[in-house]
Amino acid sequence: MSATRPSRLTTNRRQFLSQTSVALASVGLVGVPPRWTTDPPDAPPAAITSPAGQRIIQRTLGRTGITLPVVSMGVMNANNPELIKQAYEAGVRLFDTALGYQRGRNEQMVGDVISRLGVRDKVIIQTKVPFPQAPAGEIKAKFLADFTGCLERLQTRYVDILLIHQPSLEEMDHPEVRDALTELKRQKLVRFVGVSQHRNQADALRNAAEGGFYDVALVGFNITNAADGGFLAAIRTAASKGVGLIAMKTQAGGRARNLGTLNQTAMLKWVMQHPEMATSIPGYTNADQLAESFSVASGLEFTADEKAWLADKSVLAGLDFCKQCGACLPTCPKGVDIPTLMRTHMYAANYANFEHARATFDEIPAHASLGNCVGCEQCAARCVNNVRIAERVADLKAMYA
């Protein structure tokens, strides 16, 4: 059994190590300046023209000054390097990957394609490193070591945007990680730093906006957030403070959630109709999906079909429904039976079946009833599907007052 990777990569790795060894050593805090053959660009990539001659809507990514088409590429689930090439040729300029995707294979594929195409100076590479699981005092070194692996797999001397992958608020502020990120920027191994966040997104955005340390935030944003006032306010604040915002999960987990026929372009347009979002990283795995997604970069106005789809209440119910998973139960300090309350709300609000709603409501034992929902300044209950629990509980209280 062979124990070697393809030789081209081996060669590239050797070249890479040779060319950047001093730079990497300097990241190890020796303080020696990197020996660049070419520096990371100070200016954003040149303006993009679509091969088909269509207009491409571009926006500036906050204080980074990078200008990007409103549609980029989340590479995570792509299994074919040619799709990255096709995306580049279509006009995509930001490619999002992570150390953790396919245990590095994803980064390797991105680096391989960009290297082959010879377009490193024309694209933005965004990757992610998680907060290290290491003892205090070793966190910075582990983070730097992990990032070194990213550079190697990506076959690049620098990364445009490095995100901490899903940090807690404490981890965002952790001095060792901040030291590491500062050092990487100083050494020009990273141009901009940021966070990628699935949880506590509003708090993470507020942290980025107030602290001024993070240049970019990658957040899950889609139509299910439409009424999430706290999150929307945080988005506006972060954008106003110069944090570059990139939207992920733009399809609301649609493909994985098996929500039936989703109108992908309508959902993506809805996201990018928010001017605070500079770009988005929908995932696509074939050429048809690429064409469909990137068509949004040519026009954000809804078509008649898209408007009709968005007006279908069953669509919205599907996107914002309680699946009775029970994940919210531990999040309520009062022990209220939230899943049954959500079912009650669904029968009343979505199906107008008030008799069944009442019967469902009456199923709840006293110790977990709505009457126990008192005393909290702000509802602590959280839903993994973005169901607006507090809002629905308020509706039910109004109903049953």
Among residue numbers 228 through 257, which ones bind other proteins (CB under 8 A)?
Answer: 228-233, 248-249, 253, 255-257
395 vs 50: CA distance, rounded Å: 48
Out of 19, 102, 148, 295, the residue judged to bind other proteins by CB under 8 A: 102
Out of 54, 285, 295, 372, the residue judged to bind other proteins by CB under 8 A: 285
**202: contact with other proteins by CB under 8 A:** yes
**101: contact with other proteins by CB under 8 A:** yes
DSSP assignment letter at 283: B
Listing DSSP states for 51-107 in one string gives: TT-----EEE-GGG--EEESB-EE-TT---HHHHHHHHHHT--EEE--TTGGGGHHH
Query: Within the chain, how many helices (H) and strands (E) appear?
Result: 16, 10
Give the nearer residue to other proteins in terms of CB position, either 55 or 105.
105
Stretch that binds other proteins, among 6-14, 28-36, 65-73, 177-185 (CB under 8 A): 6-14
Question: Considering the complex, what minimum distance in angstroms separates the CB of residue 22 from other proteins?
Answer: 27
Judge whether 43 and 52 are in contact, CB under 8 Å: no
**355: contact with other proteins by CB under 8 A:** yes
241 vs 217: CA distance, rounded Å: 12
Judge whether 337 and 369 are in contact, CB under 8 Å: yes
Cα-based torsion angle of the residue sequence 384, 389, 390, 396 in order, rounded to the nearest 10 degrees: -170
325 vs 323: CA distance, rounded Å: 5
**283: contact with other proteins by CB under 8 A:** yes
Give the nearer residue to other proteins in terms of CB position, either 116 or 367.
116
Question: Considering the complex, what minimum distance in angstroms separates the CB of residue 77 from other proteins?
Answer: 5
Give the nearer residue to other proteins in terms of CB position, either 278 or 338.
338
Residues within window 32-71 making contact with other proteins, judged by CB under 8 A: none
**287: contact with other proteins by CB under 8 A:** yes
**13: contact with other proteins by CB under 8 A:** no
Out of 32, 333, 354, 362, the residue judged to bind other proteins by CB under 8 A: 354
314 vs 336: CA distance, rounded Å: 27
CA 323 centroid distance within chain: 23
**383: contact with other proteins by CB under 8 A:** yes
Question: Considering the complex, what minimum distance in angstroms separates the CB of residue 31 from other proteins?
Answer: 28
Question: Considering the complex, what minimum distance in angstroms separates the CB of residue 57 from other proteins?
Answer: 20
What pairing do the DSSP bridges indicate for beta strands 190-197 and 216-220? parallel
Give the nearer residue to other proteins in terms of CB position, either 158 or 231.
231
Question: Considering the complex, what minimum distance in angstroms separates the CB of residue 272 from other proteins?
Answer: 13
- Smallest CA-to-CA distance from 211 within 232, 242, 165, 252 is with 242
**394: contact with other proteins by CB under 8 A:** yes
Give the nearer residue to other proteins in terms of CB position, either 32 or 233.
233
40 vs 25: CA distance, rounded Å: 18
- Return the amino acid letter for 60: T
Stretch that binds other proteins, among 24-32, 40-48, 75-83, 180-188 (CB under 8 A): 75-83
Angle formed at CA 132 by CA 126 and CA 136, multiple of 5 degrees: 140
**346: contact with other proteins by CB under 8 A:** no
343 vs 158: CA distance, rounded Å: 51
Question: Considering the complex, what minimum distance in angstroms separates the CB of residue 331 from other proteins?
Answer: 8
**186: contact with other proteins by CB under 8 A:** no
Report the half-sphere exposure of 96 (CA within 13 A, side-chain side): 27
Question: Considering the complex, what minimum distance in angstroms separates the CB of residue 49 from other proteins?
Answer: 16
Out of 48, 119, 300, 327, the residue judged to bind other proteins by CB under 8 A: 327
373 vs 364: CA distance, rounded Å: 13
Sign of CA pseudo-dihedral 389, 267, 58, 185: positive
Site string for other proteins, 108-137 (x = CB under 8 A): -----x--x-----------x-x--x----
Give the nearer residue to other proteins in terms of CB position, either 74 or 91.
74
- Return the amino acid letter for 186: R
Question: Considering the complex, what minimum distance in angstroms separates the CB of residue 32 from other proteins?
Answer: 28
Angle formed at CA 297 by CA 47 and CA 154, multiple of 5 degrees: 65
Give the nearer residue to other proteins in terms of CB position, either 23 or 176.
176
**83: contact with other proteins by CB under 8 A:** yes
Give the nearer residue to other proteins in terms of CB position, either 32 or 384.
384
